[in-house]
Chain A
Amino acid sequence: MSPSTTLLLCLILFSAVLVSVLAALPGITASRGGKILAFLVLFVLPLLCMAIGVSSEVERSKSTSFCLSCHVMEPYGRSLRVDDPSYLAAAHFQNHRVPADQACYTCHTNYAMFGGVRAKMHGLRHVYVQYLGKLPQQIHLYEPYNNRECLHCHLGARSFEEGAMHNADPDLLPAVKANKMSCLSSGCHDVVHNVGQLNNVKFWKGDK
Protein backbone atom coordinates (compact mmCIF):
# COMPACT_ATOMS: atom_id res chain seq x y z
CA MET A 1 0.00 0.00 0.00
CA SER A 2 1.36 3.43 -0.92
CA PRO A 3 2.08 6.00 1.84
CA SER A 4 -0.57 8.34 0.41
CA THR A 5 -3.22 5.58 0.63
CA THR A 6 -2.16 4.84 4.22
CA LEU A 7 -2.45 8.52 5.12
CA LEU A 8 -5.87 8.72 3.48
CA LEU A 9 -7.05 5.63 5.37
CA CYS A 10 -5.86 7.25 8.64
CA LEU A 11 -7.83 10.41 7.76
CA ILE A 12 -10.94 8.33 6.99
CA LEU A 13 -10.58 6.41 10.26
CA PHE A 14 -10.07 9.65 12.21
CA SER A 15 -13.15 11.17 10.55
CA ALA A 16 -15.23 8.05 11.24
CA VAL A 17 -14.25 8.11 14.93
CA LEU A 18 -15.20 11.79 15.25
CA VAL A 19 -18.50 11.20 13.41
CA SER A 20 -19.23 8.29 15.77
CA VAL A 21 -18.61 10.52 18.81
CA LEU A 22 -20.96 13.18 17.42
CA ALA A 23 -23.61 10.60 16.55
CA ALA A 24 -23.39 9.08 20.03
CA LEU A 25 -23.36 12.44 21.84
CA PRO A 26 -25.36 14.90 19.72
CA GLY A 27 -25.84 17.07 22.82
CA ILE A 28 -22.32 18.46 22.47
CA THR A 29 -23.49 20.47 19.47
CA ALA A 30 -25.46 22.75 21.80
CA SER A 31 -22.37 24.85 22.53
CA ARG A 32 -20.69 27.17 20.02
CA GLY A 33 -17.58 24.99 19.95
CA GLY A 34 -19.70 21.90 19.45
CA LYS A 35 -21.44 23.49 16.46
CA ILE A 36 -18.11 24.32 14.85
CA LEU A 37 -16.90 20.78 15.57
CA ALA A 38 -20.08 19.32 14.03
CA PHE A 39 -19.63 21.44 10.91
CA LEU A 40 -16.04 20.28 10.53
CA VAL A 41 -16.81 16.63 11.27
CA LEU A 42 -20.11 16.25 9.39
CA PHE A 43 -19.37 18.50 6.43
CA VAL A 44 -15.73 19.45 5.85
CA LEU A 45 -13.98 16.15 6.74
CA PRO A 46 -16.29 13.83 4.71
CA LEU A 47 -16.03 16.12 1.68
CA LEU A 48 -12.25 16.16 2.04
CA CYS A 49 -12.11 12.37 2.39
CA MET A 50 -14.29 11.84 -0.69
CA ALA A 51 -12.35 14.36 -2.79
CA ILE A 52 -8.98 12.82 -1.90
CA GLY A 53 -10.41 9.29 -2.23
CA VAL A 54 -11.81 9.87 -5.73
CA SER A 55 -8.60 11.61 -6.78
CA SER A 56 -6.56 8.68 -5.44
CA GLU A 57 -8.74 6.15 -7.29
CA VAL A 58 -8.52 8.14 -10.52
CA GLU A 59 -4.73 8.18 -10.16
CA ARG A 60 -4.69 4.44 -9.44
CA SER A 61 -6.81 3.80 -12.54
CA LYS A 62 -3.81 4.92 -14.61
CA SER A 63 -1.59 2.15 -13.25
CA THR A 64 -0.50 -0.79 -15.37
CA SER A 65 -1.60 -3.27 -12.70
CA PHE A 66 -5.08 -1.69 -12.67
CA CYS A 67 -5.52 -2.13 -16.44
CA LEU A 68 -4.19 -5.68 -16.33
CA SER A 69 -6.42 -6.70 -13.41
CA CYS A 70 -9.20 -7.56 -15.88
CA HIS A 71 -8.75 -11.12 -17.15
CA VAL A 72 -9.31 -10.11 -20.76
CA MET A 73 -6.23 -7.84 -20.64
CA GLU A 74 -3.91 -10.59 -19.40
CA PRO A 75 -2.36 -11.38 -22.84
CA TYR A 76 -1.69 -7.68 -23.37
CA GLY A 77 0.18 -7.63 -20.05
CA ARG A 78 2.22 -10.66 -21.19
CA SER A 79 3.02 -8.93 -24.45
CA LEU A 80 4.89 -6.24 -22.48
CA ARG A 81 7.43 -8.88 -21.47
CA VAL A 82 8.19 -10.31 -24.92
CA ASP A 83 11.94 -10.61 -25.36
CA ASP A 84 12.00 -9.11 -28.84
CA PRO A 85 12.77 -5.42 -29.52
CA SER A 86 10.54 -5.43 -32.61
CA TYR A 87 7.52 -5.66 -30.28
CA LEU A 88 6.77 -1.97 -29.89
CA ALA A 89 4.84 -2.15 -26.62
CA ALA A 90 7.40 -4.48 -25.03
CA ALA A 91 10.35 -2.31 -26.12
CA HIS A 92 8.71 0.80 -24.66
CA PHE A 93 7.80 -0.95 -21.40
CA GLN A 94 11.09 -2.77 -20.80
CA ASN A 95 13.30 0.21 -21.65
CA HIS A 96 11.18 2.66 -19.64
CA ARG A 97 10.40 4.76 -22.69
CA VAL A 98 7.06 5.00 -20.95
CA PRO A 99 6.68 4.88 -17.14
CA ALA A 100 6.48 1.15 -16.39
CA ASP A 101 3.81 1.70 -13.73
CA GLN A 102 1.59 3.66 -16.17
CA ALA A 103 2.49 1.87 -19.40
CA CYS A 104 -1.04 1.29 -20.77
CA TYR A 105 -2.32 4.76 -19.91
CA THR A 106 0.69 6.59 -21.35
CA CYS A 107 0.20 5.15 -24.84
CA HIS A 108 -3.57 4.67 -24.85
CA THR A 109 -4.70 8.01 -23.50
CA ASN A 110 -5.51 10.77 -25.91
CA TYR A 111 -3.20 13.78 -25.82
CA ALA A 112 -5.81 16.09 -27.30
CA MET A 113 -8.11 18.29 -25.19
CA PHE A 114 -10.15 16.29 -22.63
CA GLY A 115 -8.17 13.17 -23.59
CA GLY A 116 -7.92 12.13 -19.96
CA VAL A 117 -11.67 12.51 -19.47
CA ARG A 118 -12.34 10.45 -22.62
CA ALA A 119 -9.96 7.76 -21.37
CA LYS A 120 -11.88 7.64 -18.07
CA MET A 121 -15.23 7.40 -19.87
CA HIS A 122 -13.87 4.53 -21.95
CA GLY A 123 -12.63 2.96 -18.70
CA LEU A 124 -16.13 3.12 -17.20
CA ARG A 125 -17.48 1.42 -20.32
CA HIS A 126 -14.81 -1.27 -19.99
CA VAL A 127 -15.86 -1.93 -16.38
CA TYR A 128 -19.49 -2.20 -17.51
CA VAL A 129 -18.57 -4.66 -20.28
CA GLN A 130 -16.32 -6.64 -17.93
CA TYR A 131 -19.05 -7.20 -15.33
CA LEU A 132 -22.36 -6.81 -17.15
CA GLY A 133 -21.72 -6.95 -20.87
CA LYS A 134 -20.42 -9.42 -23.42
CA LEU A 135 -16.66 -9.49 -23.85
CA PRO A 136 -15.57 -9.24 -27.49
CA GLN A 137 -13.64 -12.11 -29.05
CA GLN A 138 -10.98 -9.70 -30.16
CA ILE A 139 -10.24 -6.29 -28.69
CA HIS A 140 -10.02 -3.37 -31.09
CA LEU A 141 -9.09 0.27 -30.63
CA TYR A 142 -12.01 2.70 -30.79
CA GLU A 143 -10.33 4.49 -33.68
CA PRO A 144 -7.10 4.03 -35.67
CA TYR A 145 -4.08 4.83 -33.51
CA ASN A 146 -3.25 8.50 -33.92
CA ASN A 147 0.41 9.49 -34.45
CA ARG A 148 -0.23 12.37 -32.05
CA GLU A 149 0.12 9.91 -29.17
CA CYS A 150 3.60 8.84 -30.42
CA LEU A 151 4.68 12.38 -31.28
CA HIS A 152 3.75 13.54 -27.78
CA CYS A 153 7.11 12.07 -26.71
CA HIS A 154 9.06 11.51 -29.93
CA LEU A 155 8.54 14.83 -31.69
CA GLY A 156 11.83 16.75 -31.57
CA ALA A 157 13.79 13.77 -30.28
CA ARG A 158 17.07 13.32 -32.14
CA SER A 159 16.57 9.61 -32.79
CA PHE A 160 13.18 10.40 -34.34
CA GLU A 161 14.07 13.52 -36.33
CA GLU A 162 17.48 12.30 -37.56
CA GLY A 163 16.81 8.54 -37.78
CA ALA A 164 18.14 7.04 -41.04
CA MET A 165 14.90 5.23 -41.89
CA HIS A 166 12.80 8.29 -41.07
CA ASN A 167 14.87 10.40 -43.47
CA ALA A 168 15.28 7.86 -46.29
CA ASP A 169 12.27 9.40 -47.97
CA PRO A 170 11.96 13.21 -47.58
CA ASP A 171 8.15 12.95 -47.64
CA LEU A 172 7.99 10.45 -44.78
CA LEU A 173 8.45 12.64 -41.70
CA PRO A 174 6.03 15.38 -42.86
CA ALA A 175 3.43 12.68 -43.61
CA VAL A 176 3.96 11.09 -40.20
CA LYS A 177 3.74 14.44 -38.41
CA ALA A 178 0.53 15.27 -40.27
CA ASN A 179 -0.90 11.85 -39.33
CA LYS A 180 -1.26 11.04 -43.03
CA MET A 181 0.93 7.99 -42.60
CA SER A 182 0.63 5.91 -39.48
CA CYS A 183 3.71 5.05 -37.39
CA LEU A 184 2.17 1.58 -37.15
CA SER A 185 2.02 1.18 -40.94
CA SER A 186 2.96 -2.12 -42.46
CA GLY A 187 6.73 -2.35 -42.75
CA CYS A 188 7.35 0.30 -40.06
CA HIS A 189 6.41 -0.22 -36.39
CA ASP A 190 3.68 -2.73 -37.18
CA VAL A 191 4.41 -5.27 -34.42
CA VAL A 192 2.77 -3.83 -31.33
CA HIS A 193 1.09 -6.28 -28.92
CA ASN A 194 0.45 -9.13 -31.40
CA VAL A 195 -1.19 -11.20 -28.67
CA GLY A 196 -2.07 -13.93 -31.18
CA GLN A 197 1.60 -14.90 -31.45
CA LEU A 198 2.55 -15.02 -27.78
CA ASN A 199 2.84 -18.81 -27.82
CA ASN A 200 5.79 -18.59 -30.19
CA VAL A 201 7.95 -15.97 -28.46
CA LYS A 202 10.47 -15.81 -25.63
CA PHE A 203 9.73 -13.70 -22.57
CA TRP A 204 11.95 -11.35 -20.62
CA LYS A 205 12.41 -12.56 -17.05
CA GLY A 206 13.76 -9.33 -15.53
CA ASP A 207 12.15 -6.53 -13.49
CA LYS A 208 9.51 -8.72 -11.85
Chain B
Amino acid sequence: MTPEIVGLEKPLRLAGMLLIFGLLVEAICLLWARPLAFIVLVGAGGFLCAAGIVVYLYSLVSAARVRPEQ
Protein backbone atom coordinates (compact mmCIF):
# COMPACT_ATOMS: atom_id res chain seq x y z
CA MET B 1 0.00 0.00 0.00
CA THR B 2 1.29 3.47 -0.82
CA PRO B 3 1.11 6.17 1.82
CA GLU B 4 -1.79 8.57 1.42
CA ILE B 5 -1.56 12.29 1.91
CA VAL B 6 -4.05 13.60 4.41
CA GLY B 7 -5.11 17.17 5.05
CA LEU B 8 -4.47 18.30 1.48
CA GLU B 9 -8.06 19.06 0.53
CA LYS B 10 -8.38 22.42 2.28
CA PRO B 11 -5.10 23.95 1.10
CA LEU B 12 -5.71 22.65 -2.42
CA ARG B 13 -9.14 24.29 -2.47
CA LEU B 14 -7.67 27.54 -1.13
CA ALA B 15 -4.83 27.46 -3.68
CA GLY B 16 -7.37 26.75 -6.42
CA MET B 17 -9.58 29.65 -5.41
CA LEU B 18 -6.63 32.07 -5.25
CA LEU B 19 -5.42 30.93 -8.66
CA ILE B 20 -8.87 31.18 -10.23
CA PHE B 21 -9.27 34.76 -8.96
CA GLY B 22 -5.73 35.59 -10.11
CA LEU B 23 -6.36 34.18 -13.58
CA LEU B 24 -9.70 36.01 -13.79
CA VAL B 25 -8.00 39.30 -12.90
CA GLU B 26 -5.39 38.61 -15.59
CA ALA B 27 -8.08 37.86 -18.19
CA ILE B 28 -10.00 41.06 -17.34
CA CYS B 29 -6.79 43.13 -17.51
CA LEU B 30 -5.97 41.72 -20.95
CA LEU B 31 -9.41 42.78 -22.21
CA TRP B 32 -9.21 46.19 -20.49
CA ALA B 33 -6.65 48.05 -22.60
CA ARG B 34 -5.85 50.91 -20.22
CA PRO B 35 -2.58 51.86 -18.49
CA LEU B 36 -4.06 50.96 -15.11
CA ALA B 37 -4.65 47.39 -16.35
CA PHE B 38 -0.90 46.70 -16.26
CA ILE B 39 -0.68 47.76 -12.62
CA VAL B 40 -3.74 45.68 -11.67
CA LEU B 41 -2.41 42.68 -13.60
CA VAL B 42 0.96 42.71 -11.88
CA GLY B 43 -0.29 43.90 -8.48
CA ALA B 44 -3.55 42.02 -7.92
CA GLY B 45 -3.30 39.19 -10.49
CA GLY B 46 0.36 38.52 -9.75
CA PHE B 47 -0.23 38.59 -6.00
CA LEU B 48 -3.20 36.20 -6.16
CA CYS B 49 -1.43 33.74 -8.46
CA ALA B 50 1.76 33.88 -6.38
CA ALA B 51 -0.28 33.33 -3.19
CA GLY B 52 -2.06 30.35 -4.78
CA ILE B 53 1.22 28.78 -5.86
CA VAL B 54 2.78 29.34 -2.42
CA VAL B 55 -0.24 27.78 -0.68
CA TYR B 56 -0.04 24.78 -3.02
CA LEU B 57 3.72 24.29 -2.52
CA TYR B 58 3.39 24.78 1.24
CA SER B 59 0.60 22.20 1.36
CA LEU B 60 2.93 19.70 -0.32
CA VAL B 61 5.74 20.10 2.19
CA SER B 62 3.49 20.33 5.23
CA ALA B 63 1.03 17.52 4.41
CA ALA B 64 1.19 14.62 6.90
CA ARG B 65 1.92 11.24 5.36
CA VAL B 66 0.26 8.26 7.02
CA ARG B 67 -0.03 4.63 6.05
CA PRO B 68 -3.61 3.46 5.88
CA GLU B 69 -4.46 0.80 8.41
CA GLN B 70 -4.46 -2.71 7.03
**Residue in B29, B33, B41, B52 whose CB lies within 8 Å of A69:** B33
Q: Which of A12-20, A92-100, A174-182 contacts B (4 or more CB under 8 A)?
A: A12-20
Residues of B within 8 A of A12 (CB): 23, 26-27, 30
A42 CA / B18 CA spacing, docked (Å): 10
Count B-side interface residues using an 8 Å CB cutoff. 35
Residues of A within 8 A of B22 (CB): 46, 50
The secondary-structure label for the interface of chain B is helix
Using A50-B45, A57-B41 as known contacts, say yes or no to A70 and B23 having CB atoms under 8 A apart: no
Please give the distance in Å from B4's CB to the nearest CB on chain A.
Answer: 6
**Residue in B29, B38, B53 whose CB lies within 8 Å of A43:** B53
Which A residue sits closest to B21, measured CB to CB? A16
Cβ B30 vs Cβ A57 within 8 A:
yes
Residues of B within 8 A of A127 (CB): 35-36, 38-39
Residues of A within 8 A of B33 (CB): 60, 65-66, 69
**Residue in A5, A47, A57 whose CB lies within 8 Å of B53:** A47
How many contacting A-B pairs (Cβ < 8 A)? Answer: 106
Which A residue sits closest to B26, measured CB to CB? A53
The secondary-structure label for the interface of chain A is helix
Residues of B within 8 A of A184 (CB): none
**A56 close to B (CB within 8 Å):** yes
Residues of A within 8 A of B4 (CB): 30
Cβ B12 vs Cβ A16 within 8 A:
no
Using A30-B5, A57-B37, A70-B35 as known contacts, say yes or no to A42 and B26 having CB atoms under 8 A apart: no
Which B residue sits closest to A43, measured CB to CB? B53
26 A-B residue pairings within 8 Å (CB atoms): A12-B30, A15-B19, A16-B20, A19-B20, A23-B12, A23-B13, A26-B9, A26-B12, A26-B13, A29-B5, A29-B12, A42-B12, A46-B22, A46-B23, A46-B52, A49-B23, A50-B49, A53-B45, A57-B29, A57-B38, A58-B38, A61-B38, A66-B35, A126-B35, A127-B36, A130-B35
Residues of A that sit less than 8 Å from B by CB = 1, 5, 8-9, 12-13, 15-16, 19-20, 22-23, 26-27, 29-30, 38, 42-43, 46-47, 49-50, 53-54, 56-58, 60-61, 65-66, 69-70, 123-124, 126-127, 130-131
